[in-house]
Amino acid sequence: MNGPIRRVAVVVMLMFLALMLNASYSYVFRTESLSSDPANRRVRDAEFGTDRGDILVGNTPIVTSTPVEDRFGFQRTYNQGRLYAGITGYYSFLYGGSGLERTYSSQLAGTSDVQVLQNIVDAASGRRPQGASLQTTLDARAQQAAAQALGDRPGAVVALDYTTGGVLAMVTSPSFDPNALASHDIAATQTAWQQLNDDPAKPLTNRAVREVYPPGSTFKLVVSAAALESGMTPDTTVASPASLRLPDSTFEMTGDCGGEEVSLRQALQVSCNTAYALLGDQLGADALRRQAEKFGFGSPVMPELNGVPSRFPTDPDRAQTMLSAIGGFDVAASPLQMAMVVAGIANDGVVMEPHVVSQVRGADLNVISTHAPRPLSTAMSGANARALQDMMVSVVENGTGRRAQIPGVRVGGKTGTAVTASAGSGSTRVPYAWFVAFAEDPTVAVAVFVQDAGVDGSEISGGRYAAPVAQAVIEAVR
């Protein structure tokens, strides 16, 4: 009898040992992943009842928590919710979070590793734990101006301080009201969620950082940078035929660029497609891709808002390369990415890392973390960047970007109308209107994307529908 009992005892002891080892391993190594798992309802229940910290624009809370008499104890409230929804996101009992509410959830809830000591002190003194607050880089004037100028047209606006990378404005349209998803009326939040997800306009989509679109002629800035870096100057003469058939294709580009040959400056000023198509063919796809990557293409941007990478085609043939050089074929960029392109040019070739949170501060106002301005890359030399700045100023003063002019302010820009076609197919996508710009005082770079201007496709132009939006944002922060 003793032998079988001992064997059973050994097995039971081994099982207990395995259980203890697994529990210890989970506690030490899996705590963070288990706590952040959206399926972990116990953590969500506990966090939903916490006094989450504020999200601030300047000294004004745009998101705050207020005490209420129900089972949760605090109601998350979004002031001007639709205006800032693309940035703040939502915090919902049923559906978790998005935007800053998700990225900084542990800090806002007061459960991050760096806040443990403060929580112990609070517990010992009988105080209810409070979450940290987020100080954003946003400028309320720029945000309001961008939203008003874009109106109810689908699209996005991004404005950056190109010397720091701080986001001054980020508007995505259509937007939504996060208060509907943060409600403690669970049935109401389910209805709101269903309506938002069924809406064909996709209001939950952040068009500024989470979607990519054909950038049209704004991509000619990348090609211009590659040309200048290859040794060309703004006065270099480039071929600009009135008609150009792409190699091994029936697709034909047309346009009057002011002559069969024009300077690079003139080609950008009038947005000459044939000149840039031939320029792209001359430089080659690899040079264009390398230049695009220096501006940030191919890499995820702004992890705070889960930004997606923009792209340049992997292995285009000659015709596809020529289409890519005018922002067509498979070139696709987010509005944030195009803001980064113009910001890098305006900052003498240095692309700063974009960010929207400058500080995280504890409930005691002590700074937990700070985002110092950080260079992301050097996209081009300072001399060539300044030459391209001058070319962009010519676009606004004498070319397609006249509607962005502001008296007393040096503004450079580039229009774009994204009507793309596959070589030989003749098929086109829905036209989009783009405008990117920079100003010297204030130091702001702006990208405006109008997905649907509400007019016939033949009437769409970036200069007409997007440039005035950029103008309004720049004027707002003067």
Reply yes or no on whether 125 is catalytic: no
Asked if the model's pLDDT at residue 458 lies above 70, the reply is no
Rounded mean pLDDT of 316-330? 96
**Tens-place pLDDT, residues 290-305:** 999 999 999 999 999 9
**Amino acid 17: pLDDT:** 80
What span, in angstroms and rounded, lies between the C-alpha atoms of 97 and 47? 12
Domain extent at residue 292:
216-357+372-476
Asked if the model's pLDDT at residue 424 lies above 50, the reply is no
Q: How many domains does the chain have?
A: 1
**Amino acid 239: pLDDT:** 97
**DSSP structure class, residue 53:** P
Nearest Cα to Cα of residue 339 among 148, 175, 473, 173? 473
Asked if the model's pLDDT at residue 41 lies above 70, the reply is no
The SS3 of residue 159 is strand
Asked if the model's pLDDT at residue 419 lies above 80, the reply is no
**Amino acid 228: pLDDT:** 98
**Amino acid 364: pLDDT:** 83
Residue 388 included in any domain: yes
Residue 100 included in any domain: no
Contact 191, 247 (CB under 8 A): no
Residue 63 included in any domain: no
**Amino acid 9: pLDDT:** 75
Contacts of 198 (CB under 8 A, 6+ apart): none
Residue 37 included in any domain: no
Angle at 224 between CA 220 and CA 225, to 5 degrees: 120
Residue 175 included in any domain: no
Place of tokens 């979607």: 211
Residue 318 included in any domain: yes
The CATH number that applies at residue 331 is 3.40.710.10
Residue 423 included in any domain: yes
Asked if the model's pLDDT at residue 378 lies above 80, the reply is yes
What span, in angstroms and rounded, lies between the C-alpha atoms of 188 and 88? 21
Q: Is 454 exposed, middle or buried (0-12, 13-18, 19+ CB in 10 A)?
A: exposed
**Amino acid 352: pLDDT:** 98
Contact 354, 132 (CB under 8 A): no
Residue 122 included in any domain: no
Catalytic residue among 65, 175, 217, 240: 217
Between 426 and 31, where is the model more confident?
A: 31
Asked if the model's pLDDT at residue 126 lies above 60, the reply is no
What span, in angstroms and rounded, lies between the C-alpha atoms of 14 and 105? 39
What span, in angstroms and rounded, lies between the C-alpha atoms of 251 and 291? 26
**Tens-place pLDDT, residues 382-397:** 999 999 999 999 999 9
What span, in angstroms and rounded, lies between the C-alpha atoms of 408 and 234? 25
What span, in angstroms and rounded, lies between the C-alpha atoms of 465 and 472? 12
